[in-house]
Structure 1
């Protein structure tokens, strides 16, 4: 397996990502959708399938015992990454499944009953809207929506007002908005929610690859994220839950591994986290996630923060210098994402033209239709950065935009 090399050992972090060697000249600005994978992650997954493949939690033979040890060590790696306990980490297919699991299990528990209210915000990905709508329609909860300010940040005064009557039992909001890069002040959200006795759930998909996350310091009850936005594989994700709350939740699915005993008369369920992990898990995906965390830790948060801040500052300056380009607002703090409109050019057309310049961006609604509707648009071009991006990537993006403007007769 490869040894992780620190970023200052060579000119570019791109050296660690095989996709760039295979696609010469590629500018990849779609990490908000899915991040590229370093060789250390690919090697870890390949090694397991080639030389160590066995199921976990079942076999008494050495290969299975070794796989179980590696799987549970990965759980500890994830827990340490967000300052949680290993028993508080539930492996799921992604943040979407984590949020659906949470909504479904809360709705069948005593923690959330008909007539109780849940707050989401206008910043949310559909995965943090639709599960709560399903719970509203099926179980009779009330769904409240916290607006954003004119500057694009979460309206904290409005949040406090929505909490005032004491009916809210859960506030579920994003950490960083996937469509605009808005950073939500999670600690303040938690403080306001706690004052009214409400639980707090956070969608951390866009946060975990850009900043350290400490669930104890943030004082949250639940936190979800996906491996593939953290330089890991698709199909794997994490739901963190405070253990004392997880113990109160019923299972999400039934099957093997989540039970202690089964008869035709009664089933006794395993304690968390096994209670929520029915069936054979995505073992290699979990190992890939742990390898991705090792990679990020190897780079170091100080380096990541400084590098991405420099890239984002250059990107903003370059984009704002182009006539006809509008950047959707992000409030007091923006992280890793620009969502842009170019006057007279449909985002899908712009995305296609940029692809002809080997610049990969996302064009569409970004699974955030209510947020884009707030800005009277139904699609944008989104440029989102990762550790492998460089300031020059935004120069290439700007050149592609200007080329599109000329093609549409909009350029200078």
Structure 2
């Protein structure tokens, strides 16, 4: 544990760019957006920014801010209600941030994103370029999902998932997730008084997250499960996560001074590239290919490309270059994902065949691999 504490202190001392996600349960009360909390957090964030650290906020609270000013508003869970109240509340949330940051002579910028903005590679690059330019100007981007236009099927799900994608977009080296809990516990502390805080998680992939996480915060949409899933994704690209109580009046200040608060989640030893991360978590698979055990060993254990010979079934319709799931026949492995070199119809013709037979079946052999290893990720979470 001493080594983990040293690594945590070292990372906090050397952090150059941090994504701080602030959840609804931190920013809101029964009456809506709590401006006192906004003031306290901005005070601490400004101190971090003064140290030369680039800060990106992913902030919830627009719906709560909207409810606060709508006297006839009664909380509902349907999408139209949330979109309408978010339209009212988003400008008020940004005004609150802009006003408080302005006291410290900090400039903020609002960025509203939908999943479509990050699914399209060109728009993803444009968003990254915009973000990096803002950071060069020492502006603090404040990001939220564009709830007013996002349809249910294309929503990020919650701001924890969005924050994990922003880590990759902004090339951050630290993720701080502010929540209403004091960190990750061995069990649900609301149900088990004996539950203990876990100070450090060395290998988040080995954790039984589904069993550990029960229930949600009253105001939030994700609960601890979504926070740990976001931390898993962060770990895959080599970014540590600190899950911290935003209710603690000086949480960020104490953490950067070295106090043992919250839960520190260490990054994976083996990291994946930014591009593979984008393929896995920004795109939606269009179809599936089922592979045999021999191909599974090559893909999952040896990191090799997927050849047509190892494919036993093709499901769904997809085109050349589309993302597909790779599922092992009769296996327990989680699905992989990759960009197919062939359409589903062509792949159905050449599956089970050797690469030398492709030209005879299709008239030409542009690729010997069904999915090249550079376009294949075998450690995908949440599929």
TM-score (norm 2): 0.31
* Greater relative CO, 1 or 2 (CA 8 Å, sep 6+): 1
TM-score (norm 1): 0.29
